[in-house]
């Protein structure tokens, strides 16, 4: 299957890990340079270290660590709109299997005659 | 200020202090950086290919999940209706069912050939469903047909993307992988839409594509209907002192009918039709609102083009103007359960048709209104 780890993935992982270790090394160097009073050198090491860390972290997140998410299939809330042709009453209820537009709906709560299904739709996204 | 240009080693040595440990460490860092630099020059493109391949792999995995889910839904739906053994193998066989487009080397008569092949395919598919679920009623048969077609499209999509993924992996060709990666967002959108369509067909809920059909249904409600062509009904009603002949696919099963054949028959049998109004759902452009109604001229009908060809031919032959009303929606909206905005669009389209009738025809005229689209979950 496509998710199998390949040699290319291992090589890329190794390179990114090397870059990450290197960046951490630069950060350690920055710290020791700062303690030694070399502020310019410390700033340089810090800048290089952070850049390397950001680059390797981003690449790692985008490639090796990226896993296919299980797509969640949407279950929509579908409504059935019913209309009483005799008294004009309108009612809305969740869709039931067997409902269809212009088909028979429930009885009208006002005049007890069967209503007609006027529309079936889902709300929003 | 430090220069990262020539003499990087010297600069690093300067900044890393005079100590021996600092010198060695600096040299090691330089060596690794040079190695990474060389790697990016020599293998940069390969790395890019690898990143794209990974992207396609993730997309492929998503499509596979959707295809498997659709297959499971189809099997579960059929199991409720039939206890025939070996249902899963039968479903797998039907999902791989294909049709071969006729050759267009000599395009003369190609529309008829396409229609013939599609009719054969449809007939065959219905026969297969009937043999799986004996005694199934017509509306459910059409829904099962739609369900299988959506599943089949997802299956084909998965197999095509898998083909390009494996081909790209095998050849490491940038162009093969690039193409697959470039079309992937659109393919995923379509796959999601088909996934939603599977649920709509399972439950018999109206889909966005049925907007045109719903407009026609609103006009023909209460009138006497008769079947004019295969899976297509017509009714005659009076609107603003004009005679309106309304045509739509036979609902509430998932049907598109044969509106081309119906229009051909109506125009051929009576010479008093002064205008044809077609209402259909149309693909909106990005930035346009769902449910917007637009007006124009021409045959408002999608699909492969067989029905469109017939309508255009017959309208030209009888010199009847073709007016079009379109309800805009995205591809996803077209095959997923109908959105409220589309229903509002249907209401607007009904008013637009009435206005069109008043503006473009005279009292006593006969007008043909064709509501195009899948009539799943829409009666008449």
State how far residue B379 is from chain A, nearest Cα, in angstroms: 5
Asked if A97 and B204 come within 8 Å (Cβ–Cβ), the reply is yes
pLDDT tens, residue by residue, B84-134: 888 999 999 999 999 999 999 999 999 999 999 999 999 999 999 999 999
Average pLDDT over residues B232-243: 96
pLDDT band, residue B290 (cuts 50/70/90): very high
The pLDDT value recorded for residue A63 is 73
CB B342 within 8 A of CB A121: yes
Distance CA B225, CA A31 (A): 86
| Closest CB from B22, B36, B340 relative to A123 | B340
Residue A63 CB coordination number (10 Å): 17
Query: At B72, which helix (H) or strand (E)?
Result: helix B20-81
Residue of chain A whose Cα is closest to the Cα of B69: A73
The pLDDT value recorded for residue A19 is 83
Residue B223 gets which letter from DSSP?
A: S
Residue of chain A whose Cα is closest to the Cα of B55: A63
| Closest CB from A3, A25, A97 relative to B203 | A97
Percent over 90 (pLDDT), chain B: 80
Q: What are phi and psi of A114, to 5 degrees?
A: -65, 135
Average pLDDT over residues B179-196: 94
pLDDT band, residue B45 (cuts 50/70/90): confident
Q: How far apart are the first and last CA of chain B?
A: 81
Angle at A32 between CA A31 and CA A38, to 5 degrees: 95
Q: What are phi and psi of B249, to 5 degrees?
A: -70, 150
**Best interface-test mutation with B: which of A114, A120, A125 has the largest number of B CBs within 10 A?**
A120
The pLDDT value recorded for residue A56 is 86
Residue in B2, B34, B28 with CA at minimum distance from that of residue A28: B28
Residue A124 CB coordination number (10 Å): 8
Q: Specify the higher pLDDT residue, B301 or A59.
A: B301
> Does the pLDDT of residue B8 top 70, yes or no?
no
Indicate the pTM of the whole model: 0.83
State how far residue B218 is from chain A, nearest Cα, in angstroms: 8
The pLDDT value recorded for residue A91 is 93
The pLDDT value recorded for residue A125 is 63
The pLDDT value recorded for residue B76 is 94
Query: At A115, which helix (H) or strand (E)?
Result: strand A114-122
Task: Spell out which residues of chain B touch residue A86, defining contact as CB-CB under 8 Å.
Answer: none
Residue of chain B whose Cα is closest to the Cα of A34: B16
Residue B208 gets which letter from DSSP?
A: G
> Which residue intervals of A1-125 are DSSP H helices?
7-35, 39-62
State both tokens at B186: 């659109």
The pLDDT value recorded for residue B5 is 43
Residue in A68, A63, A67 with CA at minimum distance from that of residue A12: A63
The pLDDT value recorded for residue B3 is 41
The pLDDT value recorded for residue B18 is 45
Give the 3-state secondary structure of residue B240.
coil
> Does the pLDDT of residue A103 top 50, yes or no?
yes
Asked if A99 and B377 come within 8 Å (Cβ–Cβ), the reply is yes
Range from A71-80, B175-184, B263-272 carrying the lowest mean pLDDT? A71-80
Distance CA B120, CA B191 (A): 26
Task: Spell out which residues of chain B touch residue A15, defining contact as CB-CB under 8 Å.
Answer: 36, 39
Task: Spell out which residues of chain A touch residue B39, defining contact as CB-CB under 8 Å.
Answer: 15
Percent over 70 (pLDDT), chain A: 86
Give Cα A107 to chain centroid, integer Å: 43
* Strand-strand pairing, B242-249 and B232-239: antiparallel
Residue of chain B whose Cα is closest to the Cα of A12: B47
pLDDT tens, residue by residue, A48-72: 889 888 988 888 887 767 766 665 6
State how far residue B302 is from chain A, nearest Cα, in angstroms: 23
> Does the pLDDT of residue A31 top 70, yes or no?
yes
What DSSP string describes B130-168?
HHHSTT--HHHHHHHHHHHHHHHHHHHHHHHHHHHHHHH
Average pLDDT over residues B5-11: 44
Half-sphere exposure of B371 (CA within 13 A, CB side): 34
The pLDDT value recorded for residue A72 is 63
State how far residue B116 is from chain A, nearest Cα, in angstroms: 31
State how far residue A39 is from chain B, nearest Cα, in angstroms: 10
Asked if B60 and A123 come within 8 Å (Cβ–Cβ), the reply is no
pLDDT band, residue B268 (cuts 50/70/90): very high
Give the 3-state secondary structure of residue B237.
strand
Distance CA B238, CA B266 (A): 17
Mean pLDDT of chain A: 85
| Closest CB from A2, A45, A121 relative to B340 | A121
Task: Spell out which residues of chain A touch residue B32, defining contact as CB-CB under 8 Å.
Answer: 18, 22
Is the ipTM reported for this complex over the cut 0.95? Answer: no
The pLDDT value recorded for residue A124 is 67
The pLDDT value recorded for residue A94 is 95
The pLDDT value recorded for residue A68 is 64
Average pLDDT over residues B158-187: 94
Distance (Å) of CA B56 to CA A9, B4, B66? 15, 38, 15
State how far residue B313 is from chain A, nearest Cα, in angstroms: 32
> Does the pLDDT of residue B2 top 90, yes or no?
no
Asked if A100 and B32 come within 8 Å (Cβ–Cβ), the reply is no
Q: What are phi and psi of B92, to 5 degrees?
A: -60, -40
State how far residue B39 is from chain A, nearest Cα, in angstroms: 10
| Closest CB from B25, B47, B342 relative to A12 | B47
The pLDDT value recorded for residue B43 is 83
> Does the pLDDT of residue A6 top 50, yes or no?
yes
Question: What's the CA dihedral at B220, B224, B228, B232 to 10 degrees?
Answer: 50
Mean pLDDT of chain B: 90
> Does the pLDDT of residue B276 top 90, yes or no?
yes
Task: Spell out which residues of chain B touch residue A73, defining contact as CB-CB under 8 Å.
Answer: 66, 69, 195-196, 199
Distance CA A73, CA B69 (A): 9
Angle at B208 between CA B211 and CA B194, to 5 degrees: 150
List the beta strands (DSSP E) in chain B: 225-229, 232-239, 242-249, 273-283, 293-297, 322-329, 366-371
pLDDT tens, residue by residue, B328-344: 999 999 999 999 999 99
CB B297 within 8 A of CB B344: no
Distance CA B42, CA B196 (A): 45
pLDDT tens, residue by residue, B207-231: 999 999 999 999 999 999 999 999 9
Give one word for A108, left, alpha or beta, with left for phi > 0 and alpha for psi -120 to 50: beta
């Amino acid at each position: 299957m496509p998710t199998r780890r390949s040699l290319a993935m291992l090589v890329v992982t190794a390179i990114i890990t090397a870059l990450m270790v290197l960046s951490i090394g630069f950060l350690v160097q920055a710290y020791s340079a700062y303690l030694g009073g070399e502020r310019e050198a410390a700033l340089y090491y810090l800048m290089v270290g952070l850049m390397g860390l950001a680059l390797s972290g981003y690449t790692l997140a985008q490639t090796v660590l990226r896993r296919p998410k299980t797509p969640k299939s949407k279950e929509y809330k579908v409504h059935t709109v019913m209309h009483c042709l005799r008294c004009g009453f309108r009612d809305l209820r969740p869709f039931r299997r067997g409902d269809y537009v212009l088909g028979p709906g429930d009885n009208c709560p006002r005049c007890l005659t069967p209503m007609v299904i006027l529309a079936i739709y889902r709300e929003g996204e | 200020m430090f220069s990262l240009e020539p003499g990087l080693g010297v600069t690093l040595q300067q900044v890393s202090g005079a100590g021996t440990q600092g010198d060695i460490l600096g040299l090691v860092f330089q060596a690794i950086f040079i190695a990474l630099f060389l790697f990016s020059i020599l293998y940069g493109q390969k790395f890019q290919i690898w990143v794209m391949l990974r992207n396609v792999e993730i997309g492929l995995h998503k499509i596979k999940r959707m295809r498997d889910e659709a297959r499971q839904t189809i099997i579960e739906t059929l199991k409720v209706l039939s206890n025939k053994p070996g249902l899963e193998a039968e479903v797998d066989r039907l999902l791989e069912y294909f049709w071969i487009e006729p050759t267009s080397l000599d395009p003369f008569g190609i529309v008829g050939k396409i229609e013939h092949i599609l009719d054969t395919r449809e007939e065959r598919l219905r026969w297969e469903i009937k043999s799986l679920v004996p005694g199934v009623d017509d509306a459910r048969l059409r829904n099962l047909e739609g369900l299988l077609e959506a599943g089949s499209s997802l299956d084909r999509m998965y197999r095509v993307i898998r083909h390009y993924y494996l081909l790209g992996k095998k050849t490491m060709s940038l162009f093969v992988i690039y193409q697959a990666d470039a079309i992937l967002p659109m393919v995923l959108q379509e796959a999601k839409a088909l996934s939603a369509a599977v649920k709509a067909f399972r439950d018999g809920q109206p889909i966005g594509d049925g907007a045109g059909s719903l407009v026609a249904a609103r006009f023909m409600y209460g009138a006497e209907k008769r079947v004019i062509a295969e899976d297509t009904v017509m009714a005659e009603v009076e609107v603003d002192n004009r005679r309106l002949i309304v045509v739509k696919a036979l609902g509430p099963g998932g049907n598109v009918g044969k509106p081309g054949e119906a229009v051909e028959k109506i125009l051929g049998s009576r010479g008093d039709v002064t205008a044809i109004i077609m209402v259909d759902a149309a693909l909106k452009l990005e930035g346009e609102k769902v449910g917007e109604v637009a007006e124009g001229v021409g045959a408002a009908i999608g699909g492969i083009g067989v029905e469109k060809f017939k309508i255009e031919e017959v309208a030209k032959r009888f010199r009847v103007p073709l007016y079009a009303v379109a309800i805009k929606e995205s591809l996803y909206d077209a095959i997923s359960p109908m959105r409220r905005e589309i229903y509002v669009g249907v209401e607007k389209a009904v008013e637009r048709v009435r206005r069109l009738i008043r503006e473009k025809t005279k009292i006593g005229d006969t007008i043909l209104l064709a509501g195009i689209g899948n009539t799943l979950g829409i009666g008449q």
